[in-house]
Amino acid sequence: MGGKEWYFYTQRDRKYATGLRTNRATASGYWKATGKDRPILRKGTLVGMRKTLVFYQGRAPKGRKTEWVMHEFRIEGPHGPPKVSSSKVYISPNGMSLSLRVTLFILTEYMKRI
């Protein structure tokens, strides 16, 4: 990709406070998932998943596809965060929902296609 890649730890933003859907909208457009999540294996064991997204300018469904691509990396498998059902809300002592704390940050890679 010509060395034009950036990596960030980003906070996952929920579309709805009690839901599991991720909000990927921005002031100028939105990130749209493409394809399926890809497994990341280490010595044959699942350690994470990679999701590929493309940035569209404007509002869905009439957004204009750009050359910007993002990969979201999240930990999965035996060393990943515990699974929390969206139908159950667990409240921690400080009042924050556990389901929001479990996957609070993800690693993202941004690049512009050439």
Between CA 44 and CA 75 the distance in angstroms is 15
For the chain, the structural domain boundaries read 5-112
Query: Per-residue pLDDT for 25 more than 70?
Result: yes
What pTM, to 2 d.p., does this model score? 0.68
Confidence at residue 5, expressed as pLDDT on a 0 to 100 scale: 83
Q: Which of residues 19 and 44 earns the better pLDDT score?
A: 44
Rounded to whole angstroms, how far apart are CA atoms 53 and 60? Answer: 14
Distance CA 95, CA 98 (A): 9
Average pLDDT over residues 22-37: 87
CATH 3.40.47.10 corresponds to the domain 5-112:
no
Instruction: Identify the pLDDT of residue 114.
Output: 64
Instruction: State the Cα–Cα distance between residues 26 and 55, nearest whole angstrom.
Output: 10
In angstroms, the CA 29 to CA 23 distance is: 12
